[in-house]
Amino acid sequence: MGVWLLVGVLVGLLNGLTRRWTVARLQAEMENSALALTLGGLVVRLSLVAMLLIAGLRQGIVPGLLAFVGLWVTRMVTVIWFHTSVGAKREEILESETE
């Protein structure tokens, strides 16, 4: 049963890393290719999550819920990490501007 939780966490990490990779490559000059890159990444991420949840739910409700919990916990940890790292960078920028 713990395998589904672990797999959910791993898919969640892969989901976060692909999102970060996509955002890091976006540039203002990209125009239409930025949309294609964003939508392509979205399709890949949603496909991975859907495959995981379908596979888990085929095994039963508990494995499906464990996979979902793994995805959810990883997402929350990623959001908290991103929020704290961006907040620290923002404070550094504000401090350097006031000096």
pLDDT given for residue 12 in this prediction? 94
Contact in structure between 45 and 75 (CB atoms under 8 Å)? no
Half-sphere exposure of 88 (CA within 13 A, CB side): 5
On the CB side of 98, CA atoms within 13 Å amount to 6
Phi, psi of 31 (to 5 degrees): 50, -110
Q: Model confidence over 41-68: pLDDT tens digits?
A: 899 999 999 999 999 999 999 999 999 9
> What is the reported pTM?
0.77
Query: 10-26, pLDDT tens digit by residue?
Result: 999 999 888 888 888 88
Task: Look at residues 5, 11, 3 and name the one whose alpha carbon lies nearest to residue 66.
Answer: 5
